[in-house]
Copies of this chain bind each other. A is one copy, B any other.
Amino acid sequence: MTDPMDEDFNRRANEKSRHRKAMRDRMLSTKTIEKGLLIVHTGKGKGKSTAAFGLVLRALGNGMRVGIVQYVKGKWGTGERPALERFSELVTIRTMGEGFTWETQDRARDIAAARAAWDASKAMIEACRAMPPAYDLILLDELNIVLRYDYLNLTEVVAFLADRPKNLHVIVTGRNAKAALVDAADLVTEMTLVKHPFQVGVRAQKGIEF
């Protein structure tokens, strides 16, 4: 660890920092478009839905209205819903489906649930064409999973999301995001698993896994 009182080192470090700030300010000044973003969280790591909840929390803290469609029931833990209930005047949740895909053995029922969830999603998005819009942010949680299993028509879904109201932010989560969706998205983050406690025998725990 360098000496915090090393004045020569500090002067050079401060100069470098000033330069970084100037570069960053210049970069940010070129970013002038304001519009609703299509955001995708994908990858095999943890944190896809969790980061979406973080965005939802931040939006709610800003007084924004949030709509959530849960494509896969039973995927949520015991904590999300009671937490969101503290913002009940701002948030609407629609739950479809009968449990995580791993848990169901009825494909026809899964497809019906996916289509019902998509109909609910479309209705939420359409309600944002009104003034004022019904929502500022819509989370389509685990939509990628039903797209992956071809439970919905990918072309129709991507076209509908691309044609959303101009200021509406939409977040889509789930592993194996389809390329067409990634192409249409403004912001895509891949969560990569580096190390998982299952690898060393630790079981799922309240507040962390659920």
Which residues of A line the B interface, CB within 8 A?
1-2, 4-5, 9-10, 13-15, 17-18, 20-21, 24, 27-28, 30-35, 37, 39-43, 45-47, 49-55, 57-62, 64, 77-84, 86-87, 101-108, 111-112, 136-137, 150-153, 169, 182, 185-198, 200-208, 210
Q: Is the Cβ of A32 less than 8 Å from the Cβ of B201?
A: yes
11 A-B interface contacts by CB (under 8 A): A9-B107, A10-B108, A17-B104, A33-B201, A40-B194, A41-B47, A43-B192, A53-B58, A60-B83, A62-B78, A182-B194
Q: Is the Cβ of B37 less than 8 Å from the Cβ of A202?
A: yes
C-alpha spacing A83/B86, complex, angstroms? 9
C-alpha spacing A46/B45, complex, angstroms? 14
Q: Is the Cβ of A201 less than 8 Å from the Cβ of B106?
A: no
Given the complex, which residues of B lie within 8 Å of A53, measured CB to CB?
A: 53-54, 57-58
Q: Is the Cβ of A62 less than 8 Å from the Cβ of B13?
A: no
| Contact A102/B24 with A189-B191, A190-B45, A202-B186 known, Cβ cut-off 8 Å | yes
| Contact A31/B189 with A57-B53, A58-B80 known, Cβ cut-off 8 Å | no
Nearest opposing residue in chain B for A5, CB measure: B108
Nearest opposing residue in chain B for A31, CB measure: B203
Q: Which of B58, B86, B106, B187 contacts A197 (CB 8 A)?
A: B187
Nearest opposing residue in chain B for A104, CB measure: B17
C-alpha spacing A137/B188, complex, angstroms? 28
| Contact A79/B62 with A169-B208, A191-B191 known, Cβ cut-off 8 Å | yes
Q: Which of B10, B57, B195, B200 contacts A107 (CB 8 A)?
A: B10
C-alpha spacing A111/B14, complex, angstroms? 12
Q: Is the Cβ of B207 less than 8 Å from the Cβ of A64?
A: yes
Q: Which of B52, B59, B187 contacts A195 (CB 8 A)?
A: B187
